[in-house]
Structure 1
Amino acid sequence: MAIRSRLKNSLWKWRGIAIAAPTISILVIGLRLIGALESLELAMLDQFFRWRSPEPADQRIVIIGIDEADIRQYQWPIDDALLTKLLDKVRQQKPRAIGLDLARDKTDNAGYPQLEKLFKTTPNLIGAYKTSDLVTSNFSVSDIKPPPALAQLDQIGAVNLVHDGDGRLRRGLLSLSLPDGKVGLSFGLQLALLYLDGEKNVPIEKIEQALNPPKLRANDGNYHQIDVGGHQFIINYRRSLQGFQTVRMADVLDGKIAPDLFRDRIVMIGVTAVSLRDWFFTPLDGGLGSTRILTSGVEVHAQIVSHILSNTLDGRSTIQSWEEYWEWLWIFGWALAGSTLIWQWRNVNSKNQKIQLLVMRSQSILVLAGSLFASCFIALTYGWWIPFVPAAIAFLGSGIIVTSYLAITAAQIRTYFSRYLTDAVVKSLLETPEGLKLGGDRRKVTILMCDLRGFSTISEKMPPEKVVEILNIFLGTMTEAIATYQGTIDEFIGDAILVLFGAPIYREDDAARAVASAIAMQLAMRSVNEKLTQQQLPEIAMGIGINTGEVVAGNIGSQSRAKYAVVGNHVNLTARIESYTVGGQILISEATYKEIEDIAKTNGSMEVEPKGVSHPISIYDICGLGGIYNLELPSLSDSLQLLATPIPITYRILEEKHLGTEIFESKLRQLSPYGAEILSDQDVPVLTNLKLHLQIYGQDQQLEIEGEIYAKVLRHQQPSQMVLEQVSRSRHTKPIYVHFTTVPNNLKDWISQKTTV
């Protein structure tokens, strides 16, 4: 039992590592087995080739390239007589081997007899042919038959090249199976054998060992189930800044080369003209550190020859890979390293420790990642292809899993709290010493309250399910706008929202962020109404009031039940200010205005005397905010349009949600989609709520439309000269601008028709 208990405690102590390392290892190995990492690892192998130190050019090989200038001078294809002349000049310098990487299977040319004679008298000449086989079938090309005279002498080699899935040439062929069941040697191997025949001091056993390396297997390196027909190997490309020594065909024909340039070397003749399209992608082409785009086919075969000779004569390594179980152990080891690194340094007790942890963890990650890179890179220089991408994924992935596990564990309590409180409040409760204590402290906050205008009237006429649907759309959109400016939602009150800026976290720009949030909320109402219209729900409008002052903020309640809240007369004052707003309007107190005076844009101010306040206060109508916020509200009303004939209306005054019994007569003189100018003989104070009744008759005295509009008096108008003349003839002498707060749909359509220019 004691052993079992100790084992259980150990597993719990190292649970993060026990979860992360095996999990990511199995995942990475699984991805490796299905080939999902093949393209990444091959790309990294290419990059390692390009980053290797430059090597001296292989002086044993010279290429005679047929370039664009040669084609213009001699035409293409070159005739047999010219080729005979070229080959004769080459063999006069007594090279060890001549490789003819040109198709030459026609025997009906005028110069062929001389060429055939040269073929038969040049025992160190190898001709090229290409045959279809399973290995290269994914890049199908027509077969190229060998020169008949060289085929009879068995002086031919296959120029088939093996393409990977991305089109690059990483694999070479020593031999391949021919359609007739025989085995054909590759072009590069034939040339290498001719060269090695001239090496007298190399033991035959070493030559045989070098020419018969381990065959590439289907899953070697990071390959996945590739076709490994024939005898394939990974080409150890020589990265030489000068490349192989190359001369033009014209220079050889004109005798412009050194008389002993080809002596005792391998001479390879092939096409280097881009227009003939004998060009391929190799690991050295493209990518970081590369200065070339494509490699000619003859140079690819030169790389294969150089690979064989360098391995045999110079001890240059071939590219090998581990057995799969060693690769799996390698991957698990790096998963273990990544998870241990994060798990060991998970506990900190102070701010200084957190900083030190961040620095040390960053340094350790860089050191270990650098070690992984260096080990794989250095290993390649010694001929070992060690998986880099799977190990890197295991290393980083295990660290991410441990970090995620710690974050999930730490966030469980936060998640429960966040269902009922905002993130800022939860952070205050959980991450400060006094966070869970009852009580509060005095602090300066900016309070924002928003409310839907006329929503009670809308909700009375709709099923409860539709009302909830409207509220969910409204509250969800507003929550996003508030979160953008780091506001703390204290509570939802029906269709109203109470938002705090400065509690629980105080910032110098609380007032500015509150106003910016309010403008963003009003701008977001457009998207709210678009969603409502799509769902055939009525449009809504919102008013916002903002106030700044000292309140008591903290945990209020009892030990059994408490909530984070703010208490004080400034909360009530905010609600009063909000009650003066109309849809689309933002009103702020003078205290808030002083905080943002330099960047605030207003439509003016007014004096009001809210209930419970001993003296009048100034409130400001916000239309925009400059500075870093650069926010602007559209105008609440379009330009008023003068009606051809004033429309008689009646109205009643609303006081404290109660509708007055006295009915007043007036005339509607100017109209916009958002408000109207009415002419009244009554002294109606600014911010008074009205209920307008319209009865509109057509020319035939038939009732055209009837309805009621809720509105608020925003200002007393300065009448135009035309209006003054009409007013002078009427007992309605006081132009008043009212803003519509609730308009029935039938009247909305009528107003739209009347105000459309």
Structure 2
Amino acid sequence: MWLKLKRLLWKGRSVWITTPSVAGLIVILRWAGLLQSWEWAAFDQYMRWRPQNGPDNRIVLVGINETDLHNLDESIISDAVLARLLKKLKAMQPRAIGLDIYRDLPVEPGHQELVRVFASTPNLIGIQKVVGDIGRETVAPSPVLKAKGQVGGNDLLIDGDNKVRRGFIYVADRDRANVFSFSFLLALHYLDAEGIAPKTIEGTKNWQLGKTVFAPFEANDGGYVRADARGYQLLIDYRGSSTYFETVSMTDILQNRVASNWGRDRIILIGMVGESFKDLYFTPYSSGLLTLSEPMAGLEIHANITSQIISAALKARPLFKSWSEPVEWLWIMFWSSIGATLSWKLRYTGGVEFLSFHKSASLFLAGGALLGSTYAAFLWGWWLPVVPPFLALGGSIAVITAYIARSAGSIRKTFGRYLTNEVVANLLESPEGLKMGGERRKITMLTSDLRGFTTTSEQLPAEEVVKILNFYLESVADAIAQYQGTIDEFMGDGILVLFGAPTAREDDAKRAVACAVAMQLVMAKVNERMKQWGLPPLEMGIGINTGEVVVGNIGSEKRTKYGVVGSQVNLTYRIESYTVGGQIFISESTLKEAGLSIVKINDQKSVLTKGVQQLITIYDVKGIGGEYNLFLPQEEEDVLLPLPEAMPIQYRILEGKHIVDTLFKGSLVKLSAKEAEIHADNVAEPCIPSPLGNIKLNLLIPSDRTEVSEDIYAKVLAKPAGDKSFFIHFTSKTLVVEAQLNYLYQSVAASNK
């Protein structure tokens, strides 16, 4: 169980590392306030998108503009005009009248008349400015209205982007006494007629008004970060854009142009709406994506707040709420995980395309789900984080995509160890590079194999074998890449290399021969390391053939291998099987393609190989001239020394990888460091193996011919020997046998000096 969990965690490490990392970064950015303006913009856009409510006929406005003053031939409304206006509105029997005009000082004429109206109108609410801010000092209320408790603060909260999104229920003045807001007092007058009054909820800051519980705005509610949360605030739920409420001019009222019952049972708000009065503010409705900013009069903002409070109390219209910060962090992490998981799960969808249709559709659906869920929540009064989860979603997608791209780069780099950059580009970037199927093409194939490595590996721990193979393959792979060969396959210690696929060149055969020589030269470095590790040297045989094969992507859509098939591939392996350590055999077709003038030959042999009906000629290469100028080192002649006493052996013939059951007897009569002469027993028909074939032999103890040594493998040489004799080249010896034969050879060599 633990192993499965561990494996699952490892496979998904990119997701569970990316998710909290991206989410944590977004939370930090949000805490620093860097996302606040974006969150405000999202809030405003959602407010503009939602369907508008029907008109609120409970509230009407009397707007005073520049035309009204012009009609009065006054630069400022006098107390007499204001008293006359209030009398006319009072006669309409409204539930409340809100006077959003400062009257802390007399404006003659008519001040005493206005005082009498103030004193005789119990449902009239005046204003005072409680909180001083930049450019606006506090303004005292009318003393008459203040004495009667009919004054509310008309302060508005302006956010950093100059928009009004919050209003007061109450706020403390300089004496730390709470002053109810202008809008709240008007709403209470209206609700009093409905028998509704506010009730405190014991043990909390909340209170209930009719069907709704009011909770104070906190400093980090919604998209706000450490906002000024003084007093008791609420987020304003605007009913609509500017001019939403029914509005008439002061002139219309004074000249009796409206019905006498126009204001019955309504709240009538009176205030300045002209641009010159500097009582205009920007709100979420002030601008859209394609429209210019349009401010809203402060009178209308107070009307919206009043309407919001009344609707909440009577119809349970939801107030804006938000989650606690820990829950919002989880929300951000959730969308971070969505982005990371989708990107990771769909990383292979659509093949090698960066953004397939499925990937794009899935990611757009995720973004749409986030937008849709937060918008639906907004309609129900919940202000959920929008920008942070979008950034978390996009950030996780970007991180996982970058990780996948980096992994693809690592794959490209890994391919680059065995292929040229051009080959990698052809496979990964061209439209044809990854198509299934193949084409018939003439190419040159090189295959190599270590002699005796299997025997050596059986005597070593697996870790040591892997270490040897990795060093060997890395060394020869560098040489292959240098000559632009395509490594088609690693087969244990064997390699198949293509020249002419996927990209064909005129000098494919030349580069193949040069590559083979370079690979043999690299073996000196490999064996130097083997010596340091206290291991016997390695020997490699190489075969090269040029012929027509089918080359391309072989397999299925789920698992594909770029490779070659055809009889010429098999022939290449056959040619290589005839080599001994350090040799390079090439076919006649390769020699012709490479050029007789630059390929230097030691010897040539005619062989009849399996699968071919006639003799073929193979050539033993010693080097290549021209621009390559690479040659194998001239080894000292391996002198065979006669043994003072023949060493009895037994041997079997190998047919491919199969060992023939028939056991033959013989003896070693001559020995060198790498070769030996074997004399078959004097029988009627002694068995002489075919030249270039392979045998397995064992040394017999002279005193007891039933006891045999460990296995020795050798290749029969194609050089003439005496009657009933043949020469062999050792291809594999165990460490014990090698020490035994070396000791015997050194002893014979010393005695012949």
Same fold flag (TM > 0.5):
yes
Residue by residue over 1:76-126, the C-alpha shift from the partner in whole angstroms, topping out at 9 and shown as x without a partner, is: 311111111111100000111001101111136231000001000001111
> In the alignment, what sits opposite 1:23?
21
2:394 corresponds, among 387, 393, 396, to: 396
Question: Partner residue of 1:369?
Answer: 367
**Does 1:408 find its partner at 2:406?**
yes
* Aligned pairs for 1:109-508 within 5 A: 109-132=108-131, 137=133, 139-200=134-195, 208=209, 213-239=214-240, 243-288=244-289, 293-347=294-348, 358-414=356-412, 426-428=424-426, 432=433
TM-score by length of 2: 0.55
For 1:105, what is the secondary structure of its paired residue?
Answer: coil
Aligned mates of 1:33, 1:292 — CA distance in 2: 29
Aligned twin of 1:748: none
State the alpha-carbon separation in 2 of the partners of residues 68 and 560 from structure 1. 100
Structure 2: runs of 5 or more not aligned: 201-206, 436-440, 444-482, 485-499, 520-753
The change in CA–CA distance for 1:13 and 1:275 in structure 2 (over 3 A counts) is: same
Q: CA 1:256–1:125 in 2, change beyond 3 Å: closer, same or farther? A: same
Shift of the 247–11 alpha-carbon distance from structure 1 to 2, 3 Å rule, reads same
Contact 1:64 1:268 in 2 (8 A): yes
1 CA distance for matches of 2:51 and 2:507?
70
Match of 1:76 in 2: 75
Render the CA deviation track for 1:533-572: whole Å, top value 9, x for unaligned. Answer: xxxxxxxxxxxxxxxxx9668976526979xxxxxxxxxx
State the Cα deviation string for residues 425-448 of structure 1 (Å, max 9, x = none).
6413666489xxxxx989xxxxxx
8 Å contact kept, 2:165–2:235 = yes
Counterpart of 1:112, as a letter, is H
Determine if contact 2:56/2:307 at 8 Å carries over to the other structure: yes
* RMSD (Å), alpha carbons: 3.5
Aligned-partner residue type, residue 343 of structure 2: I
Q: Which residue of 1 aligns with 2:515?
A: 558
Shift of 1:297: 0.6
Alignment counterpart, residue 64 of structure 1, candidates 30, 39, 62: 62
User: Which SS does the other structure have where 1:342 is aligned?
Assistant: helix
Aligned to 2:42: 44
- Contact 2:80–2:108 (CA<8 Å) still a contact in 1? no
Contact 1:176 1:229 in 2 (8 A): yes
Question: Which residue identity lines up with residue 89 of structure 2 in the other structure?
Answer: V
Asked whether the equivalents of residues 79 and 106 of structure 2 are also in contact (C-alpha less than 8 Å), the reply is no
Counterpart contact for 1:57–1:242, Cα < 8 Å: no
Q: Which amino acid aligns with 2:142?
A: P
What percentage of residue pairs aligned between the two structures are identical?
Answer: 37
CA distance in 2, matches of 1:115, 1:441: 109
Alpha carbons 1:210, 1:308 under 8 Å: kept: no
Work out whether residues 441 and 552 of structure 1, in 8 Å CA contact, stay in contact via their aligned partners in 2: no
Aligned match of 2:4: 6
Unaligned runs of 5+ in 1: 435-439, 443-489, 492-502, 507-549, 563-757
Amino acid of the residue matched to residue 280 of structure 2?
W
1:407 counterpart SS class: helix
Cα distance change of structure 1 residues 423 and 180 upon mapping to structure 2, 3 Å threshold: farther
Instruction: Report how far residue 288 of structure 1 moved.
Output: 3.4
Q: 1:192-219: CA deviations, max 9, x gaps?
A: 1111111147897896367861111111
By how many angstroms is 1:158 displaced?
0.5
Q: Deviations over 1:468-524 (max 9, x none)?
A: xxxxxxxxxxxxxxxxxxxxxx99xxxxxxxxxxx9999xxxxxxxxxxxxxxxxxx
Mapping of residues 548-697 of structure 1, within 5 Å: 557-558=514-515
- Corresponding residue pairs, total: 451
Query: How far 1:419 sits from its partner (Å)?
Result: 12
Distance in 1 (alpha carbons) for counterparts of 2:516 and 2:102: 94
Of structures 1 and 2, the larger Rg is shown by 2
Deviations 1:600-619 (A, max 9, x none): xxxxxxxxxxxxxxxxxxxx
Which of structure 1's runs of 4+ aligned residues deviate more than 2 A?
5-8, 107-110, 200-212, 239-242, 288-292, 352-357, 412-426, 428-434, 503-506, 550-557, 559-562
1:239 Cα offset (Å)? 2.2
Report the Cα distance in structure 2 between the residues aligned to 1:505 and 1:286, rounded to whole angstroms: 60
The alpha-carbon distance between structure 1 residues 126 and 201, as it changes in their structure 2 partners (threshold 3 A), is closer
Task: Give distance in 2, aligned partners of 1:255 and 1:505.
Answer: 94
One-letter identity of the residue aligned with 2:263? F
3-state SS of paired residue (2:287): coil
- Deviation of residue 23 (structure 1)? 1.2
**In structure 2, do the counterparts of structure 1 residues 210 and 67 end up closer, same or farther at CA, with 3 Å as the change threshold?**
farther
Q: Aligned in 2, Cα 1:416/1:299: closer, same or farther, shift over 3 Å?
A: same
Change (3 A) 1:361 1:96: same
Cα distance 1:354–1:433, how it changes in 2: closer, same or farther (>3 A)?
A: closer
- Matched with 1:602 is none
Q: Quick one: distance in 2 between partners of 1:241 and 1:77?
A: 24
CA distance in 2, matches of 1:209, 1:111: 41
Counterpart CA distance in 2 for 1:561 and 1:264 is 103
Shift of 1:395: 1.2
- Contact 1:52 / 1:239 at 8 angstroms: preserved in 2? no
| Alpha-carbon distance change, 131 to 365 in structure 1, aligned in 2, over 3 angstroms | same
Deviations 1:172-194 (A, max 9, x none): 10000110121101110111111
Contact 2:130-2:171 within 8 A present in 1 as well: no
What is the alpha-carbon distance in structure 2 between the residues aligned to residue 559 and residue 237 of structure 1?
82
Contact 1:50 / 1:288 at 8 angstroms: preserved in 2? no
Aligned-partner Cα distance in 2 for 1:24–1:147 = 56
What CA distance in whole angstroms lies between the structure 1 residues aligned with 2:501 and 2:85?
Answer: 90
Give the C-alpha shift of residue 241 in structure 1: 8.3
Q: Secondary structure at the match of 2:179?
A: strand
Q: 1:242 to 1:82 in 2, by over 3 A?
A: closer
Q: Is the 8 A contact 2:242 2:300 kept in 1?
A: no
SS of structure 1 residue aligned to 2:214: coil
Report if the CA contact (8 A) 2:196-2:210 is conserved. no
In the alignment, which residue of structure 2 is the partner of 1:99?
A: 98
Q: Aligned-pair distance for 1:7? A: 3.0
Letter in 2 for 1:22: P
State the shift of 1:171 in Å: 0.7
Q: How far apart, CA to CA, are the structure 1 residues paired with 2:305 and 2:517? A: 82
Letter aligned with residue 22 of structure 2: I
**What is the SS of the residue equivalent to 1:170?**
strand
> What is the DSSP-based 3-state SS (H/G/I as helix, E as strand, rest coil) of the residue aligned with 1:395?
helix
**Structure 1 equivalent of residue 541 of structure 2:** none
SS in 2 for 1:199: coil
Pick closer, same or farther for the CA change 1:26–1:340 going to 2, 3 Å: same
